[in-house]
Structure 1
Amino acid sequence: MHPLGKIVVAGLALVVFGGTAYGYANLRALDEVTRDSVIDAEGETKPGEQPADGSLDILLVGRDSRNDQQGKPLAPEMLRELRVGANGDDLTDTLMVLRIPNGTKEVKAFSIPRDSYVSMPGGKGKINSAFGRAKAAEARRLRTAGESDKAKIDQGALTAGRRATRQAVEDLTGVKIDHYAEVNLLSFYEISKAIGGVDVCLKAATKDENSGADFQAGPQRISGADALAFVRQRDGLPGTDLARVRRQQVFLAGLARQVLSAGTLADPGKLSDLIEAVKRSVVLDDSWNLLDFVAQMRGVSGGGIQFATIPVANVDYRYDPANPKATAVQVDPAAVKSFAASLIGSAAPKNSAAPKNTAAPKRPAAAPVTVDVSNASPKEGLAARVGGFLEQHGFTQGTPKTTGSRRTSLVRFGPDLAARGAEVAKLLGGLATQESASVPAGHIEVILGTVYSGPGVAGGGGAPAGPGDEPITSNGVVCVN
């Protein structure tokens, strides 16, 4: 099954970034958007609230569902138009978090690969299975408890699935989710058509029967079924799923740019179509006050959205010895939490309060540590990008080097820098470590192997991308594979 592209979260982005232009009167039409109790009552944000962790955090979820948001199966002719089969399931193949720092107009969006292998209730698994696990468990519980109303069972199961997905993301990232938005295949199809398409650019022509993708090289405008195929294509893309993530991110950047363009904001017909598409197909948490949110978000520009992907340790993780062909994306929760926190800087955890009239003891500044990064992979410029990323986290960047090819990555350090070496290893996605007396005093050595896929790879982990992998923002069109 091909996953729903991350760009299906566009429905929320349109509300968020386009809403200010057409005012409260029109936004009130969005009162008909489907709501669900996804956020715990004690975690709800209040109007005008500035979250204690320094950022308003929104979870965008895309489900590869062949039903509409009312649970009714899509008609066969619509499935044919979408170029998908009739068999969907309960996987959430799109997970993206928007971090909106308090007092700023820059939005940091980061993607979580759908196959990230994480701990969840019931045992470890891919993060996109959290929804289905909880949904099935809640349906069984309700039936066992004597509930016979199918509508009540279905709704209760959906709520449980959404809450479990939210919790899985919070556990992995350390981010307290303030709001939730969900769309499906039909949502994306309708929203992308409503705004008249999105400009994208491909480095090379591509064709894939499974997703229906058939695109020429170069710049082009796509919408509807073509746009869905663009973000769903998996087969034929060079590299791993991270390449597809970049394609999805660049489309969402273009979508935000298109929504904010004069051609959309000044066109009553497009705005009306957009509002209707969102009303028909988007699910929001029931605590979200859209009017208040739009007021808070005034001033966000089309170029104010920056995209990244969480750091990953291994994109070809063989997690099941009994089934060696089964693969997942290995992630280090500590590295992911560090990355998510770095997007807004240091801040107190949400719902926490510092003791009054108590001064925290000052700790002596740590001695400077230089990290020497060597690139043992074919990825051009990787050592410099990773060194720059570590510099953002308080390390001194050494001279980037290129070394002989090596498959795995390694962090080496002297016995006096074991703790800092472990910190570097976590920041880069949970790399292997080795204590060595041959490493110069005050230095840590990092060797990046061919399977390295943490910060610095295709923009992953928030590090700047290198030649051929431009950073993705909503400021302009970036050509991708």
Structure 2
Amino acid sequence: MQLLGKIAVAGLAFTVLCGTAYGYANLHALDEVTRDSVIGDGAAAAGERPADGSLDILLVGRDSRTDQQEHPLPADVLRELRAGANGDDLTDTLIVLRIPNGTHDVKAFSIPRDSYVSMPGGKGKINAAFGRAKAAEAKRQRDAGETDKAKVTKAALTAGRRGTRQAVEDLTGVEIDHYAEVNLLSFYEISKAIGGVDVCLKEATKDKNSGADFPAGPQRIQGAEALAFVRQRDGLPGTDFARVRRQQVFLAGLARQVLSAGTLTNPGKLSDLIDAVKRSVVLDDSWQLLDFVAQMRGVSGGGIRFETIPVVNRDYRYDPDKPTATAVQVDPAAVKSFAANLIGSPPPSTPAAPVTVDVTNASPKGGLAARVSGFLGEHGFAKGVTGNADARRTSLVRFGADLAQRGAEVAKLLGGLSTQESAAVPPGHIEVVLGTVYSGPGTTGGGGAPAAGDEPITSDGVVCVN
């Protein structure tokens, strides 16, 4: 399936709403945006400070060749977007925005579309949660005797959105307060409405499947070009994980462009932007936009930082009967810890004496030990010795009997590593050995610190990516 990237476009809803806080008088025009009952009774009320310490918004990009009313896109549009006629019900972009109480320091994290998780119907890739729930509800409606196709479709779409929300909540431990969804056409229209987004590539690239054909260096993209930028995975180092960084850097640029005076003070651009949102974005029906934009007035163009959840194995062979089938293995406990730490939650335990973590790199990734040591330092551990060792495949966390709880915490922070109690570890120390298959914090797509040569992605400036 070539239309997989769908886009960091889900963030459109957020950036549009933040931007219109400055064009407050025009916001009433967004009353016509499509709504759906996605959240239920647990939604955060207007002005409420959520009990978990953060207002959490799930941004979804659907792999769909339809508009928000499920009408098929015209053939000429599909040709321009290189989308093809056949699509399915996948959510190929999942991003959670965490807006902590009392601050405008917004954190956003991506969930790889192939993350292998538990959900109704059995384990599977998280991007299939939408389609599973949608199909199950459509069948239930028909079995109950419903013959009105429009009613069946509406109920099935609501179930798909709720199923996606639930899968994200179960994986991350984050209670989703609001939901925003876009698809292929909405991304195309909104990127054109704002006059394009500034991006930068480290090298020139060309890919016939996505339609990507870009020179190296800084450039402004919109419409079909923007779609190709975030769709491309073939020929990129890290494939899907490189595409996640493409999505993040595009979304950062989108936020910066929407919040710029060139958009907010231009009546024509602002009107086009609002029209595009009305035509294409779906929001949960509990979201009070006027109250939300009032809360978000303090968000600046540089106020969003992007990360990715920690992963255990990017090449997880989950089905012995299909040895070539792969997914992204994740540890739900590590993901929950990662998400909680984004809003400043303290470590689960804080001993009286500091715990020092020594990190050894047994992989070919240059500088990995230092980056992981820095990541753990940000989470309350003292930085110990870092260095390299002979190559080994698996990673390991070793500790003395008295530091078993803290050792388990380190293992979770790093993506769910194996642990071993050892009397050989010096008192007050924990030892981490990073194997060749390690892909947690400190590596691209693993959460925490970026990999060597990869700058952190924020909406404060243009970051060059692969």
- Normalising TM by the smaller chain, what interval? over 0.9
Select 1:421's aligned residue among 407, 419, 423: 407
What secondary structure sits across from 1:401 in the alignment? strand
For residue 184 of structure 1, report the CA deviation from its aligned partner.
Answer: 0.2
Percent identity between the two aligned chains: 79
Structure 1's unaligned 5+ residue stretches are: 348-362
Q: Check whether the contact 1:407–1:451 (CA below 8 A) recurs between aligned residues.
A: yes
Alignment-derived partner of residue 29 in structure 1: 29
State whether residues 459 and 469 of structure 1, in contact with CA within 8 Å, keep that contact through their aligned partners in structure 2: no
The 8 Å contact of residues 6 and 231 in structure 1, kept in 2 or not, is answered as yes
Distance in 2 between the 1:438 and 1:82 partners? 59
Q: 2:371 aligns with which of 385, 390, 395?
A: 385
Distance 1:131 1:364 in 2: 40
Letter in 1 for 2:16: V
Q: How much does 1:240 deviate?
A: 4.0
Moved more, 407-416 or 292-301: 407-416
CA distance in 1, matches of 2:78, 2:310: 35
- Name which of 446, 457, 466 aligns with 1:472: 457
C-alpha contact (below 8 Å) 2:7/2:187 kept by paired residues: no
> Distance in 2 between the 1:346 and 1:281 partners?
36
Cα RMSD, aligned residues only: 1.4
Q: Aligned equivalents of 1:364 and 1:82: distance in 2?
A: 53
Say whether residues 1:253 and 2:252 are aligned partners: yes
Q: SS of 1:446's equivalent?
A: strand
State the alpha-carbon separation in 2 of the partners of residues 4 and 466 from structure 1.
22
For the residues of structure 1 that align with 2:275 and 2:455, how far apart are their CA atoms?
35
391-400 or 25-34, larger mean C-alpha shift? 391-400
Contact 1:207 1:214 in 2 (8 A): yes
Task: Name the CA shift for 1:34/1:233 in 2 (closer, same or farther; >3 Å).
Answer: same
Question: 2:153, 2:134 → 1: CA distance?
Answer: 9
1:105 and 1:276 map into 2 onto residues whose CA distance is 27
Q: Give the C-alpha shift of residue 378 in structure 1.
A: 2.8
Structure 1 residue 441 displacement after superposition: 1.9
In structure 2, distance between residues paired with 1:402 and 1:51: 44
Deviates more, 1:90-99 or 1:438-447: 438-447
Matched, 1:314 2:313: yes
Distance 1:225 1:280 in 2: 18
**Letter in structure 2 aligned against 1:374:** T
**For residues 126 and 459 of structure 1, what CA distance do their matches in structure 2 show?**
17
SS at the partner of 1:21?
coil
For structure 2, the residue ranges without an aligned partner over 5 or more in a row are none
Q: Is the 8 A contact 1:10 1:191 kept in 2?
A: no
Name the CA distance, whole Å, in 1 between partners of 2:241 and 2:11: 19
TM-score, scaled to structure 2: 0.97
**Counterpart-to-counterpart distance in 2, 1:74 and 1:215:** 26
Q: How far apart, CA to CA, are the structure 1 residues paired with 2:241 and 2:273?
A: 30
The match for 2:40 is: 40
> How far 1:364 moved relative to its partner?
8.2
Asked if 1:17 corresponds to 2:3, the answer is no
Which residue of 1 is the match for residue 338 of structure 2? 339
Q: Could you tell me whether the CA contact under 8 Å between 1:459 and 1:471 is conserved in 2?
A: no
Residue 242 in structure 1 maps to residue 241 in structure 2: yes
Deviations 1:237-276, CA, capped at 9 Å, x for gaps: 1024222111110010011111111211121111111001
**Range with bigger deviation, 254-263 or 429-438:** 429-438
**Alpha-carbon offset, residue 368 of structure 1:** 2.0
Change (3 A) 1:22 1:411: same
CA distance in 1, matches of 2:451, 2:237: 17
Contact 2:5–2:243 (8 Å) recurs in 1: no
Structure-1-length-normalised TM-score: 0.94
| Deviation per residue, 1:145-164 (Å, 9 max, x gap) | 01000000000000000001
C-alpha distance in structure 1 between counterparts of 2:276 and 2:444, whole Å: 32
* SS of residue matched to 1:139: helix
Would you say how many aligned residue pairs link Structure 1 and Structure 2? 463
Does 1:178 find its partner at 2:163?
Answer: no
**Cα drift, residue 38 of structure 1:** 0.2
